[in-house]
Amino acid sequence: MYVNLYPRNTTYSAYLAYLVGGQGITSGFRDAISLAWRLSIACSSKRHLDYERLFEGWYLERKQQLDKSLAATVRNGDLVNGKSFMHSFIRNWGLWFLQLIPSWKHWLEQGPRGNGPTQYIHSPGMPFIPEMSGGLCFPQTYCISLHNNAEAQFTDDVIFAEKRTPFQLVVLLNHPKERDIAVQDLGSIKASPLLSPEEATFFVPRSNCANLVDRAGTCEYPLFRSATGDEFGRSALCESRPLPRGYNEMLMWQSVRGKRYVVLRLDRFVFAACKDRVELAKAVAQLNQSFES
């Protein structure tokens, strides 16, 4: 159905015909998730939308990611397929030598993560605000509710589970005492079919909430703290999984450079990251405007 919306004179139009072809399971899931939230908006909107513009953003983003994936595949092929005995000799012993230095070994173990999270380069039609750190793939980490006897969870499950709107609001506090101010800021944001402040999720660093218990029912916005890799390793979620290595529990805060409010799309890409109520109101207004006719 949607293939007819795109130009035929591009190599990507062939890729559209088969979403998961040739790039593996990860790329297939990214394609499906990125397309799903757009289809949800298209089917549920009571306004007349520019459907061609809506889905144009999808194939522009995925084309950008596909180009990177293909380039990485070519580089990996050049690395593992020795062109000569000398090439293989230098590669094997070079990699062995790098592992003798702990910092370089850690860099090797990180793989693509060493380059940081995926960041789209904005072009007209892409639904995010580039000057507000939009287009960044928001990291998934581990978290624990501040209620008694809580267990480690994936942040994605906390942010998106049982939510109704296609955009979610993540609030990154530096200290639990900041929650009251954040709740006041959210009170100034009007709910819409795209984003509801009532569905916001609050996180706080583990180091700043030692021995703090958030009693159920004391606030409409419960707190979740960052969890360590060891805490995740002891949880039921880690059964039949390898223990996390190179895990950074502060990655959510670091990825948006300390900004408090993050408007997330359902594919976990940032629409906008805002430092205060003024920026948040501006981002929400632009969000609503982006999906109007």
Clarify whether residues 65 and 186 are in a common domain.
no
Clarify whether residues 94 and 225 are in a common domain.
no
Lookup: tokens for 196? 């509801």
Encoded amino acid at 237, one letter = L
pLDDT of residue 267: 92
216 pLDDT band (50/70/90 cuts)? low
Exposed (0-12), middle (13-18) or buried (19+): which is 44, by Cβ within 10 Å? exposed
Residue at 123 is within a domain: no
Tell me the CATH number at 280: 3.40.30
226 within 8 A of 249, measured Cβ to Cβ = yes
Residue at 274 is within a domain: yes
Clarify whether residues 104 and 156 are in a common domain.
no
Please tell me the pTM assigned to this model. Answer: 0.82
Residue that finishes a domain, picked among 85, 115, 145: 115
11's CB contacts (< 8 A; 6+ apart) are none
Residue at 125 is within a domain: no
Residue that finishes a domain, picked among 58, 88, 115: 115
Domain that residue 43 falls in? 2-115
Helix (H) or strand (E) holding 27: helix 24-44
Q: Which pLDDT tens digit goes with each residue over 244-291?
A: 887 899 999 999 999 999 999 999 999 999 999 999 999 999 999 888
* Distance between CA atoms of residues 175 and 133, nearest Å: 23
pLDDT above 90: residue 128: yes
269 within 8 A of 184, measured Cβ to Cβ = no
Instruction: List beta partners, residue 137.
Output: 269
Lookup: tokens for 118? 């995926």
Count how many domains the chain has: 2
Clarify whether residues 149 and 222 are in a common domain.
yes
* Edge-to-edge strands, sheet with 223-226: 152-154, 142-145, 223-226, 201-204, 167-172, 261-265, 270-274
Across 6-10, 39-43, 168-172, the highest mean pLDDT is recorded for 168-172
Residue that finishes a domain, picked among 48, 83, 115: 115
Instruction: Name the more confident of 252 and 222.
Output: 252
